[in-house]
Amino acid sequence: MRAVRILLVVALLLGGLLVAADRIAVNIAEDRTAEGLKTSQGLRDTPEVAIQGFPFLTQLADGDLHDVRLSIAEFPVEGSDGKKMTVEDLDARLRGVRLDGDLTPSKAARVKGDLLVRYDELLKATRTEPQRVAPGLTAAVVGLSDGGQGRIKVKVQPALLGQKLPALDVLGKVAVEDGKLRVRAASLPDLGVKVPEETVRSVTDFDQALSELPPGLRLASVRPDDDGVRVTVTGKDVDLSTW
């Protein structure tokens, strides 16, 4: 009986050491991946990386990580007309991550994530400078906010001969089209004079690109929220070598 107890104690100790070694290894891998992302993507803050699944060492030996979670607080992108923007709260889940010879992530079979574009960042794509829409009449977009029921509220500021008129709220539909965020007014504002629809839409409607996201990710869907639009991004067979 004593020999059995000794064997059980030894087994428990070895098991504990293996678990500890596994956790140490996964922590090292997470830290190195996070630091690599911070450097390669020019991030201000170090992202959070969490490698799921146990044991990690068997995944490492196979060169295949089943499930990796990635969180980036702020990510610089390029918007329409080359304007610099910042997206926030990029949370992504990477499935089937292959490792290359030096154990660096090389490809992910599937990626799905969400990010936030705040309304003040999205505003950079709009006509914030007064645009002539009729003789003596100009209009400009001065604000964006949640319009409820899946729409964006576009605040338009008209001016007659340089004098501001009461601001108008326009509800717009937002969708992902041609790889961009596209906002289109559901109904046009009454500017007090007859103005061609295309002229009004040149103010109320706009597209916003999100270039320089991590390579391989594409915009899949979007929904307005209280503080901005929430965008879902996806990717298949994503090359991680440039991340």
pLDDT by residue (tens digit) across 170-190?
999 999 999 899 999 999 999
What's the first-to-final CA gap in the chain, in angstroms? 56
Per-residue buried b or exposed e for 222-242, using 16+ beta carbons within 10 Å of the residue's own CB: bebeeebbebebbbeebebee
pLDDT in tens, 59-98: 888 888 889 999 999 988 887 777 888 999 999 999 998 8
Dihedral of CA atoms 55, 69, 47, 77 in degrees, nearest 10, equals 150
Predicted TM-score of the model (pTM):
0.82
In this prediction, residue 11 carries a pLDDT of: 40
Give, for 6, the enclosing helix (H) or strand (E). helix 2-40
- Residue predicted with more confidence, 69 or 128: 69
Encoding tokens for residue 236? 């298949």
Round to whole Å and give the CA distance between 141 and 200: 11
Tell me how far CA of residue 37 lies from CA of 74, 82, 132, in angstroms: 12, 23, 45
Q: Average pLDDT of 110-132?
A: 92
Q: What is the DSSP string of 54-102?
A: S-HHHHHHHTEEEEEEEEEEEEEEE-GGG-EEEEEEEEEEEEEEEE-TT
